[in-house]
Chain A
Amino acid sequence: EVQLVESGGGLVQPGGSLRLSCAASGFTFTNHWMHWVRQTPGKGPVWVSRINPDGSSTDYADSVQGRFTISRDNAKNTLSLQMNDLRAEDTARYYCARDFFWNAPDCWGQGILVTVSS
């Protein structure tokens, strides 16, 4: 069974940092691009970042460029998102997601809440 399990979320003050992790299992991790997508209640999902299978290529939404860093450890089947200089508008549920085809995920984790507030 394909599984993606996020961890590392929580409450952080503005300007603070958090590192999200995603443990992947049930599929060949090294065959897939991976994404982080976030969503606030009642709104559509918003793409955050993606990384290619060997970790050599990354892309980011303009809103997080320069503050967030996506990475992966293929030996441990783990995807990460380092989030620095967090802002209130980064508050959301963050999903780790496996790419199916052209940036459309076919498998999503359950999501992890990140709250940026003083």
Chain B
Amino acid sequence: EIVMTQTPLSLSVTPGQSASISCKSSQSLLRSDGKTYLFWFLQKSGQSPQLLIHEISSRLSGVPDRFSGSGSGTDFTLTISRVESEDVGVYYCMQGGRLPPTFGQGTKLEIQ
């Protein structure tokens, strides 16, 4: 199975600053059809995960444009510009292109 590794495991930022989370996969996520099924989720305390971004960089409806995704192959990044208090929680990357779908171990974002 594809192993997803996130860094850092925790991140503390001041409101208004930017935060970046790295996600590396053990194999390239680029498929022969040219697609890359890399997703980002946020899990707030006591809640279920919520999908933020699909296919590396496409935000779901309602997700603020402060959230952006980038990357290719095995290296991906979630960037949150102008962090707000509501962004606190654990962020997970996930690959869905090969079974089994696999998640990273999570990055906890805190506000200073």
Asked if residues A45 and B96 are in contact (CB atoms below 8 Å), the reply is: no
Is A46's CB within 8 Å of the partner chain B?
yes
* B65-112, CB < 8 A from A: 92, 94, 96-97, 99-106
* A63-104, CB < 8 A from B: 95, 100-104
Asked if residues A110 and B48 are in contact (CB atoms below 8 Å), the reply is: yes
Name the distance in Å between A88's Cβ and chain B's nearest Cβ. 21
Q: For chain A, which range describes its interface: under 10, 10 to 19, 20 to 34, or 35 or more residues?
A: 20 to 34
A residues contacting B by CB (< 8 A) are 43-47, 59, 61-62, 95, 100-106, 108-111
Asked if residues B37 and A103 are in contact (CB atoms below 8 Å), the reply is: yes
B29-47 interface bits toward A, Cβ cutoff 8 Å, 1 = contact, 0 = none: 0000000010101000000
Note all chain B residues with C-beta closer than 8 A to A95.
48
Asked if residues A43 and B105 are in contact (CB atoms below 8 Å), the reply is: yes
Asked if residues B37 and A111 are in contact (CB atoms below 8 Å), the reply is: no
Given contacts A103-B37, A104-B37, A106-B60, is CB(A45)–CB(B51) below 8 Å?
Answer: no
Note all chain B residues with C-beta closer than 8 A to A45.
41, 49, 92, 94, 103
